[in-house]
Structure 1
Amino acid sequence: MKTSATVSNDDINAGAQGKGLRNITAIEWCSLTLAGLGWTFESYDSFLLSLLLPTLALQFGLSKAQLGLFTSITAAGQIIGGILFGYVSDRLGRVRTALLCVCIYSLFSGAIAFAPNEHWFAALRFCGALGMGGTWTAGAALIAETWHASRRGKGGALMQMDLPIGAILAITISGIVSNSYGGLAGQGWRVLFMVGALPFFILFWVARKTPESPIWLERKQAKAHARSQAMAASQASGDALNVRGLVTAFGFIFFLQYLYWGVFTWTPTFLVTVKHLDFVHSLKFVLSLQFGAITGFLLFSAFVDRLGRRPMFLAYLLVGAAAVFVYILSANPWLLMVAIFFTGFSVNGIFAGAGPFLAEIIGNTASRGFLMGLAYNGGRLGGFIAPLVIGALASTAGGFVLGLATTIVAFIAAAVVVFFAPETRGKSLS
């Protein structure tokens, strides 16, 4: 694996003034391929659970609240794994850590296919989620440290765009398996998890061709030499200044995670039980959600390095609040389709700026991977809470609507955090 490849910041900066796709360097493309594909397959695994909730309810005889626990267990594993592997990536390297995390979630995803009951399912899901959480941390740090500041936002957005691509992959493969097995009950859902064991074998070869982060390599080399007291004091001061940025990053991600897990986890079930759509029909709406997300990522990537992080975040939060409001109240199928499209556009698309924003607001520190993991995956507490809250309220149609309405409050809270956050566009990292 080329974790020891000789790559300098000068290599990255070569031709860096351009912001178009044609100016992206080979090193930047390599990092995007590894981080993006890792995120695609992690998204497949995550979204698969939301698609299978109705099937698992029948398979194991579970209530909606118990189904919500599956999702919350996943979020808990991602929180712990994201923080743990953020720490590991600061010591082992971004590339090695990304591949290790993919190996973990691939192994346990395949093992879920053989789960005999809900207890084994939950335990294996938690273990796999440890790797799922670490995948984002290592990949986002690799992108932030590899892409030039003038297009770092674009790199982060392109990586995040693989989130809806993974969800569409889950929907497509679910449809194929469902047709082949006459539904997802019985052996069908197990086959879907067996497919989740394949990513490691794909990404192993990608990782071998991906150079390690030049910033991480330089820090590793510098750490091997004695540092002067002045340098140590400077570093300590820089770490101290990260506290405000860390708190801001955590708050922002907390509310985004509440939105994401609250809306996306329950969308298929909501469409079936409240909107009274058959599952095939509801998949069309879920696809609208994901294509809206892809559009949101593309638009974000096109403008974030020009307009800045804060304006883009605030615009997406405004669109999302309006879309979710219509989505949970409308009974008109066409209006519902449009609302769901813009829900995906905003709720999913806003994550396009998460990686670069966290790296920039946390600043320059030897613990960037750990702190990014702490902020992003600690913020997943919002994702842990949302399924439980909405699942507990979803015993009636009115309660289901009320549960999803709590996401409107999260939109407002996220906007407040962004309003008081500093603009970080173009900030240099070292």
Structure 2
Amino acid sequence: MTSKTELEQPVSQDTAGPLPYSSAEKRTLALGGLGWAFESYDSFLLSLLLPVLGVVFGLNKTDLGLFISMTAGGQIVGGILFGFIADKIGRVKTALTCIAIYSIFSALLAFTRDQQTFAMLRFCGALGMGGMWTSGAALIAETWRPERRARGGALMQMGLPIGAILAIGLTALVTALNGSLEQGGWRYLFMIGALPVLIMSIVAYHTPESPVWLERQRVKEASGTPPAKMGRRNLQGLLLAFTFIFFIQYLFWGVFTWTPTYLREVKHLDFLHSLKYVLALQAGAIAGFLVFSLLADKWGRRPMFLIYLLMGSLAVTLYLITTQPIVLMMAIFMAGFGVNGIFAGSGPFLAEIIGDTSSRGLLMGLAYNGGRLGGFIAPLLIGAVANAGGFTAGLATTVVAFLAAMVVVWRAPETKGIRLK
């Protein structure tokens, strides 16, 4: 295993200027970014359709929260399972397998007739969702040059708002064509979710495997003994990474999944009008990813995380208390910038803070997808508080998560420039 001193030695910047992006960097970004975008479509589509599914299946907010929590639960299991598999068979094969899983089960949702079947299929599809991030993030972290690794991770994460915008656009289109989603239009939207596996099979065929993973396999075959799995430092990094992800997952699932319903029931916006605000949320996320990609490799991970958390907490507070449409639009945009944009650095940060180990895929899966427990808890807790004491009170719990995440980041080491092996 690489020593602590060697691991933490920053990579010197190229004094002649940045090198052009390699073919491997571009192709791994295509697989990770597009796979994440299509997953985001599938994930955010459920958030948009919660009010519709409530009518179709006759469910209250607590029941609808179960759909979201089943998604988060499947992602937790899938992310850990496929993190382990990615260490065994490679990042690219695992990513394509995961894309096939969430594509197939998304299409099957279109044919469900009851809430129990819907929840079961959603859990199965979410297994692939969790595994896609783990394999894609590890692939990019191990392929991109250290001095621009944060940019690669941020560009991959930009698939999250892009997929959500795709879901918003197609939902608006199907609504306009059908006049109502409750009469069956929602089924067409899930059918579209079968297309990614066809597209991504071509992309994966042209994507090179992680050079770090290939080198480990070469050493293992040459020596006949597996490399060291993990040590105390890896486990300490895992704990910090898990805690950080737990709180930002709570924020994401709390703010993003409940916003469409909150805008309709508390801000009293009709479905199509509320989509404009949801679109502003995603536009803010794209801006957050772009800014992170430009600055994180210069300023470092910790300063960027703290700025984003502070901005997000102020924006969500304003979003909950304002009654002015223009102020609400600005607050939602900034919430997207901070709450979603912070995920731009999650992949590189997890790979770096966990350190060098042949089990990086498994440990990243444990940290990121184990941290999705926050996403599992958020929908149920916010839905229960909404039923008991008001929707605004439920969403206000996210402010506590902002503060907790800031404490974790403050205690974490800076990882900018670390070379992975």
TM over 0.5: same fold? Answer: yes
Matches within 5 A, 1:179-258: 179-226=176-223, 235=228, 239-258=231-250
Q: Of residues 62, 67, 72 in structure 1, which corresponds to 2:69?
A: 72
Alpha-carbon offset, residue 239 of structure 1: 2.5
C-alpha offsets along residues 32-66 of structure 1, whole Å, 9 cap, x if unaligned? 00000000000000000000000000000000100
Instruction: Tell me, yes or no, if the aligned pair for 1:161 and 1:297 is still in contact at 8 Å.
Output: yes
Alpha-carbon offset, residue 240 of structure 1: 2.5
1:295 aligns with 2:283: no
C-alpha offsets along residues 360-408 of structure 1, whole Å, 9 cap, x if unaligned? 0000000000000000000000000000000011126x52111101000
1:422 is matched with 413
1:309 is matched with 301
Q: Of residues 335, 357, 361 in structure 2, which corresponds to 1:369?
A: 361
1:354 is matched with 346
1:138 is matched with 135
1:112 aligns with 2:109: yes
Give the match's secondary structure for 1:211.
coil
Specify every segment of 5 or more residues in structure 1 that has no aligned partner in the other structure, as ranges.
Answer: 1-12
Structure 2: which amino acid aligns with 1:309? R
Structure 1: which amino acid aligns with 2:190? F
2:148 is matched with 151
Moved over 4 A (4+): 15-20
Matches within 5 A, 1:89-108: 89-108=86-105
Structure 1: which amino acid aligns with 2:383? G
What is the TM-score of this pair, normalised by structure 1?
0.93
Instruction: Tell me, yes or no, if the aligned pair for 1:19 and 1:151 is still in contact at 8 Å.
Output: no
Alpha-carbon offset, residue 307 of structure 1: 0.2
**Number of residues of Structure 1 aligned to a counterpart in Structure 2:** 410
Distance 2:158 2:17 in 1: 18
Distance 1:227 1:166 in 2: 43
Distance 2:61 2:315 in 1: 25
Structure 2: which amino acid aligns with 1:296? G
2:6 is matched with none
C-alpha offsets along residues 60-104 of structure 1, whole Å, 9 cap, x if unaligned? 000010000000000000000000000000001000000000000
Cα RMSD of the aligned pairs, angstroms, is: 1.6
Alpha-carbon offset, residue 18 of structure 1: 7.4
C-alpha offsets along residues 219-264 of structure 1, whole Å, 9 cap, x if unaligned? 0111112268xx96xx36x533211100000000000000000001
Structure 2: which amino acid aligns with 1:263? V
Give the match's secondary structure for 1:395.
helix
1:402 is matched with 393
Instruction: Tell me, yes or no, if the aligned pair for 1:17 and 1:150 is still in contact at 8 Å.
Output: no
Structure 2: which amino acid aligns with 1:379? G
Structure 1: which amino acid aligns with 2:310? L
1:177 is matched with 174
Specify every segment of 5 or more residues in structure 2 that has no aligned partner in the other structure, as ranges.
Answer: 1-10
Change (3 A) 1:184 1:19: farther
1:121 aligns with 2:118: yes
Distance 1:144 1:38 in 2: 16
C-alpha offsets along residues 285-309 of structure 1, whole Å, 9 cap, x if unaligned? 0000000000000000000000000
**Percentage of identical aligned residues:** 62
Give the match's secondary structure for 1:56.
helix
Structure 2: which amino acid aligns with 1:152? R
Change (3 A) 1:358 1:108: same
Change (3 A) 1:126 1:17: farther
Change (3 A) 1:406 1:163: same
Q: Of residues 289, 308, 329 in structure 2, which corresponds to 1:337?
A: 329
Change (3 A) 1:369 1:19: farther
Structure 2: which amino acid aligns with 1:272? R
1:84 aligns with 2:75: no
Structure 2: which amino acid aligns with 1:356? P
